[in-house]
Amino acid sequence: TEYVYRFGGGVSEGGQDKNLLGGKGANLDGMAGIGLPVPPGFTISTAMCTRYYEEGERFPDELRPQVTLGLHHIETVTGKKFGNPADPLLVSVRSGARVSMPGMMDTVLNLGLNDATVEGLAAVSNDARFAWDSYRRFVQMYADVVLGLDHGSFEEALDVAKEDRGYTLDTELEADDLRALVAEYKSLVEKLWGKPFPQDVHDQLWGAVGAVFGSWQSERAKVYRRINSIPGDWGTAVNVQAMVFGNMGETSATGVAFTRNPSTGERAYYGEFLINAQGEDVVAGIRTPQYLTKSAREAARAKPASMEEALPETYTELARVFDLLETHYRDMQDIEFTVQQGKLWMLQTRSGKRTAKAALKIAVDMAEEGLITRDEAVARVDPSALDQLLHPTLDPAAIRDVIVTGLPASPGAASGAAVFDSATAENRAALGEPVILIRTETSPEDISGMHAAKGILTARGGMTSHAAVVARGMGRPCVSGAGGLSIDAKARTAKAGGRTINEGDLITIDGSSGEVMAGHVATVQPELAGDFATLMVWADGVRRMRVRANAETPEDARVAREFGAEGIGLCRTEHMFFDAARISAVREMILAENEAGRRVALAKLLPEQRKDFAELFEVMAGLPVTIRLLDPPLHEFLPHEDAEFETVAAAAGVPIETLKRRAAELHEFNPMLGHRGCRLGVTFPEIYEMQARAIFEAALMLDVAPVPEIMIPLVATKRELELMKAVVDKAAEAVFAEAGRRIEYLVGTMIELPRAALRAGEIAEAAQFFSFGTNDLTQTTLGVSRDDAARFLGAYVDQGIYARDPFVSIDVEGVGELVQLAADRGRATRPDIKLGICGEHGGDPSSIAFCEQVGLDYVSASPYRVPIARLAAAQSAL
C-alpha cells in the first residue's frame, strides 16, 4: 500500500486529496501543483495513522522504505543530505488532519540537527549564531513535543542564561551563549528523560512522526473534536518538509496572512509578519508583529515598516500568490509563509476561518466577482453562524466606561463576570452565569473555557493569535492584545489604568471595537440590510420549503416578518391566557362548578382573545396563521405557592377552601401525559368553542380575511379530531350566520404522539393539515421528559447513545421515522395535505435538511431563527 506522497520541486503526487493527505498535506500538494514555491517534502497519509493505532502504536515495516524514498526526494530537490555533517538537510515534521484543528496538534521544526550537523549548518550559512539558535530551538521543541518533558525547565534555563549575561531579549544571545545553552538543554533532557538527546537523525525523525500520530489522541485534540463533531477515527497525516529559514537576518521573515479581512470580509490583504523570526513566533505573541500592507500600518498609526515597505519585491510576489490561490481554491485563504533571504516560500494555505459577517460579505462579493456562483455563495455560509449577526451589538448611545482597549479580534458584544481561568469559566457557566474569560494569552488547553465563556479577553497576542482564531471560529466576541491590562492569574485580578477587575466583577467587551468596559452595557438590534439581505434573497430563490415563525404576540410577529417569516406556524393561545388582565377570568372558568359557570367566565375572555387574533392577523397581513387551541393542563393557571392562594381566592370571589380543593383535584402526577391538549376540548368543549369563535370574529373584522389554520393539539385518534373539528365547524357556522359572510379556514392537527403518527392515514380524513410537534413527539417517542433530561442527556451524548441532543437536533432514526411515516400515510389519504413542523427543530439546520428530505411544505422557527431556517432550507434544496 502507498502511504507516502511527495510534493515540491515540480512534483505533486497526492492529487490534493484531503481525506488521504489531511488538509495541510492536500494544500501543500495543491500549491506545488500550481507551481507555487513550496519547500519540497512528503506526506504520510491519514491511513497510516489509523493503521499505527490498529497495530498498537507501531509502524508497519513497509512504511520505512517509503519514507526513505520520500527523504530522497527532498534531498534531490534541495541538494542537501539528511544527517550530512557537511551540509545537512533539516526538515519540519507537521501534523495535519482532514479538517484544520488550529493549534491542536504539534509541529517540530529544525529536525536533523545534532552535535555534528550544527557545525555544518554554521559553516554553510556562515552564521554560527543562526545554527546554534536553530539547534537550541530544536532541542527545546523536541523535548516538549516528542519527549513530553516539562518545557518550564527549558524556559527557566533560557531566562537564567539571559540574566547571567545581562540580556533582556533572546536575540541578544550570541553563538557561544547558545552553544552553552544547548549543552545545558541536553543535560536537562538526560536528567528528565533518563537518556541522552537522540543524535541519530533517523531516530529523531521517527520519534517526531510517532509524536504527531500521538498528538491525535491528546486531551486537547479530543476536546476540540468533541466540540466540533470530528470523528476520532479520521486520524492525522504527517508532513515532512524541508526547512526554510525566516531567521536568517533582515531580509528574512515569517508571517501569516488572509487574502481578505477575516473579521469584516473586506477585500484587502490582511496579515502580520516578523522580520528575522521563525515559525510560530508570529502567532505566539512573543514579539508584536508588523503589518503586511502600508495602508493597514497607516490606519493603525503603527511605526514599524510594513512588509510592503520593508520587502517590496517579496510583497509583490506574495500579492500575486494570494490572487493565484483565490482563483485556484475559489475561497478566502489563510496562509503561512516564510521569506528566506528575500525568497518567498509558501508553507500552508487553507480556507480561512471567518466571522459570520465576513462569511456573508465574502460569499456575496465572490459571487459578484464571478469567482463562485450564487448557489455556491448560498451554500458557503453556515446558517448557525448567522446567529452571531442576528444578535445585539453595543448600543452606540450607551455610556461606556472603558477600562482598557485591545484589538477587535472577533466581533459582537458580551457582558459577564470576569474569570481568570478556564475551569472557573466552565464551572460558573455551568450554573448559568455568563462569564468573560480573561487570560494573558490563551493556549489550546483553554479551549473548553473559551467555549463556556460569552467572550474572551487577552492581554497579549495579535489578530491572528490563538485566542483570536479560536474565538472567531466559535463565534465568541474577543478582544485580544489589550496591552494595558496586567493580569495576576493567581490573585484573580487584572489591573489597567489604576483600576482593578476582580474575579466576578461584571464587565463588557466589544469585539468589534476592542473596548473593555466596566459593568453591563446596553445593546441594540443588528442591521439586516446589505450583504445579509442580498444573500437571503438568493437563498429564497432556491428554497422550496416555506419558513414560518412560532409567535403569539404582535411584537414577535413583527420581528418574525422583518426576518422574513412567511406566516405563523404556531401561535400558542395559552400564552394569551397568562396575561395579568385575563388570568382572573381564566381562573374563574377553572373554578366554575358547571358548564354554565364556565360559559360566564369564557364570555369575559372572548373579546380579549378576539383582540389578540385581530392584531396578529393584521400584522401578518393575509399570510397563513396557524393557531393552536388551548394545550396546557388547567392547573398551570392556578397558584402554586401557598402565599398566593389567599389573594387569588379573594380576587375570584371564592372561599380559599374551594380554591385549594379545586387545585388538589386538578393535581396530576404526570402533567405532560395528563389532562391537556384536545383532552381539555373533549371534556370542556366550550373552551375550544370560545377560541374558535374569537378566531372567526377576528378574521371577519379584516377587509382581507386571512385563512386561519386551526390546530387541535395532542390528538391520538381520529375520533378526537372529529369531535373537535365539529366544535370548530359549529362555531364557524354560527359566526358566519351572524356576519352574513363566510371565510375560508382549515382545521388540522399536531402530530405529537406516536399513535397519531401511526394512524396518520385515517386522521388525515379529518385533518386538512399536519404540523409535527417534534418537542412532544420526541418526549413521547423517546420516553424522555425534556424538563428532566438535563441530568442524564449529557452522559448519553458523551457515550454515543444519541449523536446529539435529540431536543436540539431531531433524532432522525427514531422520531424521524415516525415523521416520515406519518407524512407518507397522511399524503396517501389526502394528497394535498399541508405538512409542517413547529417544534424547536424547525430552527435547527440539520433537522431542516431532514424536513426537506421528507418533503414538508414548511418549517416554523422562533423569530430570531427565521433567517437561519431560510438559509438552511435553501441549502437543503441545493
Residue 12's binding partner among Mg ion, ligand ADP, none (Cβ under 5 to 8 angstroms by kind) is none
Q: What is the DSSP letter of 230?
A: -
Buried b or exposed e, range 719-749, using 16+ CB within 10 angstroms: ebbebbbebbeebbeebeeeeeeebebebbb
Size of the site for Mg ion (CB under 5 A): 2
Closer to ligand ADP by Cβ: residue 109 or 648: 109
The CA–CA distances, whole Å, from 640 to 113, 581, 645, 656, 677 equal 75, 19, 8, 14, 21
Pairing of strands 506-510, 499-502: unpaired
Residue 254's binding partner among ligand ADP, Mg ion, none (Cβ under 5 to 8 angstroms by kind) is ligand ADP
Candidate segments 328-336, 375-383, 540-548, 646-654, binder of Mg ion by CB under 5 A = 328-336
Rounded least distance, CB 281 to Mg ion, Å: 12
Closer to ligand ADP by Cβ: residue 103 or 112: 103
Q: What sign has the CA pseudo-torsion 786, 789, 795, 796?
A: negative
Site for Mg ion in 773-792 (CB under 5 A): none
Query: Are the C-beta atoms of residues 852 and 876 closer than 8 Å to each other?
Result: yes
Closer to ligand ADP by Cβ: residue 215 or 860: 215
Candidate segments 210-218, 236-244, 333-341, 603-611, binder of Mg ion by CB under 5 A = 333-341
Q: Is 347 in the site for ligand ADP (CB under 6 A)?
A: yes
Long-range contact set of residues 120-125: C-beta below 8 Å, sequence gap at least 24: 120/84, 120/85, 120/86, 120/87, 120/88, 121/88, 121/90, 122/175, 123/86, 124/86, 124/87, 125/248
Query: Are the C-beta atoms of residues 211 and 15 closer than 8 Å to each other?
Result: no
Q: What residues have CB less than 8 Å from 750, skipping those under 6 apart?
A: 628, 711, 712, 713, 714, 715, 756, 770, 771, 772, 773, 776, 838
With cell 523570526, the residue in question is: 277
**DSSP E strands: which ranges in 463-505?**
478-480, 486-488, 493-496, 499-502
Among 107, 215, 410, 860, binds ligand ADP (CB under 6 A): 107
**Euclidean distance between CA atoms 868 and 621, whole angstroms:** 23
Among 117, 140, 204, 254, binds ligand ADP (CB under 6 A): 254
Rounded least distance, CB 216 to ligand ADP, Å: 13
From the candidates 73, 466, 635, 841, give the one annotated as an active-site residue.
Answer: 466
Q: Is 348 in the site for Mg ion (CB under 5 A)?
A: yes
Known active-site residue 466: yes
Residue 109's binding partner among Mg ion, ligand ADP, none (Cβ under 5 to 8 angstroms by kind) is ligand ADP
C-alpha cell of residue 299: 490606519
Rounded least distance, CB 45 to ligand ADP, Å: 16
Pairing of strands 343-351, 4-8: unpaired
Q: Is 280 in the site for ligand ADP (CB under 6 A)?
A: yes
- Where would I find the H helices in 142-273? 151-165, 175-193, 201-215, 219-227
C-alpha cell of residue 298: 497607516
Residue 87's binding partner among ligand ADP, Mg ion, none (Cβ under 5 to 8 angstroms by kind) is none
**Euclidean distance between CA atoms 566 and 581, whole angstroms:** 31
Closer to ligand ADP by Cβ: residue 240 or 425: 240
Rounded least distance, CB 340 to Mg ion, Å: 17
3-state secondary structure 562-608: HCCCCCEEEEECHHHHCCCCCHHHHHHHHHCCCHHHHHHHHHHHHHH
Site for ligand ADP in 784-803 (CB under 6 A): none
Of 540, 539, 583, 576, nearest to 556 by C-alpha is 576
Among 109, 212, 238, 763, binds ligand ADP (CB under 6 A): 109
**Euclidean distance between CA atoms 777 and 770, whole angstroms:** 13
**Euclidean distance between CA atoms 173 and 167, whole angstroms:** 7
From the candidates 478, 678, 838, 851, give the one annotated as an active-site residue.
Answer: 838
Site string for ligand ADP, 43-82 (x = CB under 6 A): ----------------------------------------
C-alpha cell of residue 112: 536533523
Size of the site for ligand ADP (CB under 6 A): 17
Rounded least distance, CB 59 to Mg ion, Å: 23
Query: Are the C-beta atoms of residues 354 and 362 closer than 8 Å to each other?
Result: yes
Site for ligand ADP in 797-856 (CB under 6 A): none
Q: Is 103 in the site for ligand ADP (CB under 6 A)?
A: yes
Closer to ligand ADP by Cβ: residue 253 or 356: 253
Of 428, 469, 468, 481, nearest to 452 by C-alpha is 428
- Where would I find the H helices in 307-386? 307-310, 312-329, 356-369, 374-380
Candidate segments 347-355, 621-629, 830-838, 858-866, binder of Mg ion by CB under 5 A = 347-355
Q: Any idea what the Cα angle at residue 870 is, between residues 868 and 875, rounded to 5°?
A: 95
Q: Is 348 in the site for ligand ADP (CB under 6 A)?
A: yes
Known active-site residue 675: no
Candidate segments 330-338, 368-376, 474-482, 610-618, binder of Mg ion by CB under 5 A = 330-338
Q: Where is 787: in which H helix or E strand?
A: none
Buried b or exposed e, range 128-139, using 16+ CB within 10 angstroms: bbbbbbbbbbbb
Closer to Mg ion by Cβ: residue 336 or 752: 336
Q: Is 94 in the site for ligand ADP (CB under 6 A)?
A: yes
Rounded least distance, CB 39 to ligand ADP, Å: 5
Closer to ligand ADP by Cβ: residue 279 or 473: 279
Site string for ligand ADP, 550-589 (x = CB under 6 A): ----------------------------------------
Query: Are the C-beta atoms of residues 251 and 264 closer than 8 Å to each other?
Result: no
Rounded least distance, CB 206 to Mg ion, Å: 20
Site for ligand ADP in 489-518 (CB under 6 A): none
Of 337, 319, 363, nearest to 38 by C-alpha is 337
Site for ligand ADP in 648-687 (CB under 6 A): none
Which residue is at the shortest CB distance from Mg ion?
Answer: 348
Closer to Mg ion by Cβ: residue 336 or 631: 336
Residue 338's binding partner among Mg ion, ligand ADP, none (Cβ under 5 to 8 angstroms by kind) is ligand ADP
C-alpha cell of residue 381: 455560509
Q: What residues have CB less than 8 Å from 611, skipping those under 6 apart?
A: 698
Among 70, 198, 262, 279, binds ligand ADP (CB under 6 A): 279
Query: Are the C-beta atoms of residues 800 and 793 closer than 8 Å to each other?
Result: no
Q: Is 92 in the site for ligand ADP (CB under 6 A)?
A: yes
**Euclidean distance between CA atoms 409 and 514, whole angstroms:** 7
Amino acid at 846: S
Site string for ligand ADP, 305-344 (x = CB under 6 A): -------------------------------x-x------
Site string for ligand ADP, 18-47 (x = CB under 6 A): ---------------------x--------
Candidate segments 32-40, 123-131, 344-352, 441-449, binder of Mg ion by CB under 5 A = 344-352
Residue 241's binding partner among ligand ADP, Mg ion, none (Cβ under 5 to 8 angstroms by kind) is ligand ADP
Rounded least distance, CB 754 to ligand ADP, Å: 48
Rounded least distance, CB 636 to ligand ADP, Å: 54
**Euclidean distance between CA atoms 500 and 169, whole angstroms:** 30
Q: Where is 467: in which H helix or E strand?
A: helix 466-474
Residue 39's binding partner among ligand ADP, Mg ion, none (Cβ under 5 to 8 angstroms by kind) is ligand ADP
Site string for ligand ADP, 228-247 (x = CB under 6 A): -------------xxxx---
Give the footprint of ligand ADP on this chain (CB under 6 A). 39, 92, 94, 103, 107, 109, 241-244, 254, 279-280, 336, 338, 347-348
Return the active site residues.
466, 838
Give the footprint of Mg ion on this chain (CB under 5 A). 336, 348
